[in-house]
Protein backbone atom coordinates (compact mmCIF):
# COMPACT_ATOMS: atom_id res chain seq x y z
CA UNK A 1 0.00 0.00 0.00
CA UNK A 2 1.15 3.51 -0.64
CA UNK A 3 1.92 5.77 2.28
CA UNK A 4 -0.75 8.37 1.39
CA UNK A 5 -3.43 5.73 0.94
CA UNK A 6 -2.50 4.13 4.25
CA UNK A 7 -2.60 7.47 6.07
CA UNK A 8 -5.98 8.30 4.55
CA UNK A 9 -7.41 4.94 5.57
CA UNK A 10 -6.09 5.29 9.12
CA UNK A 11 -7.58 8.78 9.36
CA UNK A 12 -10.95 7.46 8.21
CA UNK A 13 -10.87 4.59 10.70
CA UNK A 14 -9.90 6.95 13.51
CA UNK A 15 -12.73 9.36 12.71
CA UNK A 16 -15.22 6.49 12.56
CA UNK A 17 -14.14 5.27 16.00
CA UNK A 18 -14.41 8.77 17.40
CA UNK A 19 -17.91 9.16 15.98
CA UNK A 20 -19.05 5.84 17.47
CA UNK A 21 -17.63 6.70 20.89
CA UNK A 22 -19.26 10.12 20.99
CA UNK A 23 -22.60 8.79 19.75
CA UNK A 24 -23.08 6.66 22.87
CA UNK A 25 -22.46 9.57 25.23
CA UNK A 26 -26.15 10.39 25.76
CA UNK A 27 -26.98 6.74 26.39
CA UNK A 28 -24.37 6.35 29.11
CA UNK A 29 -25.24 9.67 30.73
CA UNK A 30 -28.95 8.89 30.66
CA UNK A 31 -28.36 5.49 32.25
CA UNK A 32 -26.26 6.99 35.05
CA UNK A 33 -28.75 9.75 35.84
CA UNK A 34 -31.66 7.32 35.59
CA UNK A 35 -30.02 4.83 37.95
CA UNK A 36 -29.37 7.48 40.57
CA UNK A 37 -32.84 8.93 40.27
CA UNK A 38 -34.50 5.53 40.32
CA UNK A 39 -32.63 4.49 43.45
CA UNK A 40 -33.49 7.74 45.21
CA UNK A 41 -37.18 7.54 44.32
CA UNK A 42 -37.40 3.88 45.33
CA UNK A 43 -35.69 4.54 48.66
CA UNK A 44 -37.93 7.54 49.30
CA UNK A 45 -41.08 5.51 48.69
CA UNK A 46 -39.94 2.55 50.81
CA UNK A 47 -39.11 0.17 47.96
CA UNK A 48 -35.88 -1.65 47.09
CA UNK A 49 -33.32 0.91 45.83
CA UNK A 50 -31.52 -1.77 43.78
CA UNK A 51 -34.61 -2.52 41.73
CA UNK A 52 -35.30 1.19 41.35
CA UNK A 53 -31.77 1.74 40.08
CA UNK A 54 -32.14 -1.04 37.50
CA UNK A 55 -35.44 0.31 36.22
CA UNK A 56 -34.10 3.87 36.21
CA UNK A 57 -30.98 2.86 34.31
CA UNK A 58 -33.06 1.18 31.62
CA UNK A 59 -35.40 4.12 31.24
CA UNK A 60 -32.50 6.60 31.29
CA UNK A 61 -30.55 4.67 28.68
CA UNK A 62 -33.58 4.56 26.40
CA UNK A 63 -34.17 8.29 26.86
CA UNK A 64 -30.50 9.04 26.21
CA UNK A 65 -30.54 7.01 23.02
CA UNK A 66 -33.64 8.78 21.79
CA UNK A 67 -32.02 12.12 22.61
CA UNK A 68 -28.88 11.17 20.67
CA UNK A 69 -30.88 10.05 17.64
CA UNK A 70 -32.99 13.20 17.50
CA UNK A 71 -30.16 15.60 18.28
- The model's pLDDT over 19-71, given as tens digits with 9 standing for 90+, comes to 766 667 788 888 888 999 999 999 999 999 889 999 999 999 899 888 888 88
pLDDT at 11: 79
Long-range pairs of 9-15 with CB within 8 A, sequence gap ≥ 24: none
What DSSP state is assigned to residue 47? S
Please say whether the beta carbons of 61 and 31 come within 8 A: yes
Amino acid sequence: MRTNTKKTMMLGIGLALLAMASAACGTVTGAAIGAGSGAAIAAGTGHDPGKGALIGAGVGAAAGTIYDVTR
